[in-house]
Structure 1
C-alpha cells in the first residue's frame, strides 16, 4: 500500500500536511517545485549526502574509541563497534523508508507528529534542537582544544572558544546544504588525514611496557561508561531527514547510508586498534592528547577543519528545523527576502551563541553532552526506527494482520525500541553518576575561567 492510500483512509489529500500538522493545501514535498525559485534546496546527490553524513558523524567521536578499547579490551570493543555500525545501517534503512513513505517529513519533529501527534512533534523537535546545539558545543570545545594545543595555550580558552564559535557561525550561514557540500568533502579528507597522523604518531612513538589486553573484566557501570563512545560515535541519524529533504533523488538515500556506515565502521576499527596497540591502557580521551606534543599539534591542526564543518552542520540543523517550521510553503523559504534572511541569520547566531555560552558557563557541559546523547541520540539513532517500521506496517500495510504476517519485521521493530530504551536509561544513569562523582572529587571547574 502506498502513502496516498493511507491519506485516502484518513480523508486527507497527500498535500494536506504542514510541519505544524495543520492542513495547508501545499505540496507534499517539503520544498515543492523549485524550478523558478531563487533559492533551491534539492540539489544534493547521494554522494554529497554521504560526504556530509561522514563529516558530521566521523568527527571527534572517533577520538574516544581507543580509550573505550583500553577499558573493555580489543575484542569486546571491536564486536561492539561492528555491531553498532550494522545496527545503525539497519535503523537508517527504516528511517529512510519512513521518509520515502512520508515525503512531507523534514525533521524528527514532523515524524513525531505522524507517530504521536502534536506532543510528539514538540518533544522530538525540541530534542533535535537541544541535541544539535549540544553537539555544536562539543565541536566548539574540540576546536578550542586544538587551538590551545597549537598555540601552547597562548590565549585564554574563552578567547579560543569565541574565535572558533565565530568561524562556526560563518560556515553555518549558507541557507542550503548544497552550498556547504564541498566543505563537507574537505572535512572528510581532513578527518581521515587527522586519523592517519594519529595512527602514525602512535606507531612511531609507542609507549614502553604498554599493556594491551584482548578482554578486560569490568562492572556494568565502568563497562557501559566505556561503550558510550562507540554507541554515540554513530549518533547522526537525527540529521538524516533534513539531509534527505535536500536531495535531488531521495530514493538514493540508502546508498549514502551504506557509504557512511561502511566507512565509519572500518575507520573506527582501524583507528582504535592501531592507537590502542601502540599506546596501551594509558590512552586518554581524546586520544590525540596521548601523542607526543608535536604529533598532537599536527593531528589537531589537520582535524580542526573537520571540527569546524561538523559544528556548523549541527548549528545549521537546529536553525533549519525552526526556519522551515516558521516559513514552510511561504515565499521566504525560496526568495531573498529581508525577513527570511533576518530570521535565518538570527537562528544560526542563536544556535552557535547558546552552544558557546553553555561551553564556557557550565562546568559540567561535557557531562551534559553525554546526557543529551543518552536521552535523544539513543532514540533518534536507534529506538525510533522501530516505531517508524511498526507505524508504516500497520497503517500502510493492513493493520494488525500485516504486523502478524510480517512477524520477523515486527519482532525486530520491538527489539529496536527496547534497545533504544536500554541505551537511553543506562546512558543517562552513567552520565548522572559521572556528574555526582566529578563534584564529589572536586574536579569540576568554575564557569568563565581560562
Structure 2
C-alpha cells in the first residue's frame, strides 16, 4: 500500500475551490508521484456562484450543477443518497473501504450478509491489520489512515458480490429510471400499485418486484402514510440498486461500452437477505431505506424486515403479495438477419392476488412485450422446474409431483418431450413475501 508522504502533499490540498466532486471512485483518482489527482468532473456540485462553466474550463453549464440533489446520476456502490433523492438519505463513504481492502473483500464486507461466527472471524483479520476503527468511516471519521498497517483481505470473499471485470463500476443515469421503467395505469391490480412498471433494456425486474412488496408492507404492516413522497417507488428502487445491493446495469450506463451486453444479475434470495440482514460494514437494507425520511417523525415505525418462502400449488391460499419467477420460452427467431435458437428467459414479477372466481393468479408483469402489464395464470397450470431430475413420468405418464397435504405440481422443462409451449408463461413454485414487524415500545 503506497502512502502519500507529507512532503508530497499538495500545499493547497485544503483550499476550497467551490466544486464538489460527486463521482468519487477508485478509477477517478490517479496517484502521480505520490500525489492523488482527481479526474472526471462530469458529476460536480458547483458552489462558486459563477455564471457559467466555460469560465472554469468546463463545457457544461446550467442550474442542474448548482444542486447535488439534482444531479440524477451516480455510480452504484459509491453514491451518496442525497445526489439522487431529495432528502437527508444515507451517507456513503465507500471510497475509503476500497482503499483499505482488496477489491473482492470490499464488496463482501459492504454487501454480503453475515452471521455472528463470520463476524468474529472477520474481526480477527481486521484487528491484525490494525483497522478496528474501520466502522467509523461511515461517520466521516477516517482516522484509520494513520492506523492501518496492511490491506484487509478476507480469504473467503466471493466474487459473486463484486462487479467483475466485464462490469466495472460505471456512472448510471438515475433520471433514466423513469425512461427505462415507464409506467402504465392498469385497473386489474388490487393489492400492489396500479402503476405498473414497464422494464426496458436493463435488469431491473428483481429490484422492481422487491420495491413493490416493500411499498405494500410499509403501508399495510406499519400503517404508514407517505405525506412527503419520501418513499416513492423510484426512491426505494434507486436506493436498492445504488446503495443497498449495487449491480451494474448496462441499460442505464452514462457511457456504455458497445460490447457491454452482460448484466450483473440480481438473484431474488440474495437481495431479500440483504434487505433483512446486516453486512459487516452496513445496516440492514430496510434500515437504510427507512432513513429516506428527513426526520424520525416522517419515517415509518421502527421495525424488523423479514421475508418468507412459500410454494405455489393447486391448493395455494393467498395472504399477501409475493414475488414470483416466471419462465418464458422464446422460439427460434431471426433478428437483424441473425438466427437465435429457442431459449428460456426468466423474469421476476409480483403476484397481486388469486382470483377465486376463475382460480387464476393475477400477476404484475414488468415485461410488457411478453404478455402485457398484467398476467393471468391458472393455479392448476404446469410449473417450471430447473431441476431436470424431477422430470420423471408417473404411473399415468405425466410429469407430476404430489405433496403430503394434497399439493400437486405438473412440471415442464424445455428439454423434456416438448412439455413447455413457446410464448407461454410458467411460474416457478418458489415465491417470497416481505413482512415488516413493528418493534415493541
Question: Fold conserved (TM > 0.5)?
Answer: no
TM class, shorter-length: under 0.3
Q: Quick check: which one's strand share is greater?
A: 2
Higher helix proportion, which one?
1
Q: So what's the TM-score if we normalise by structure 1?
A: 0.27
Larger radius of gyration between Structure 1 and Structure 2: 2
TM-score under structure 2 length normalisation = 0.27
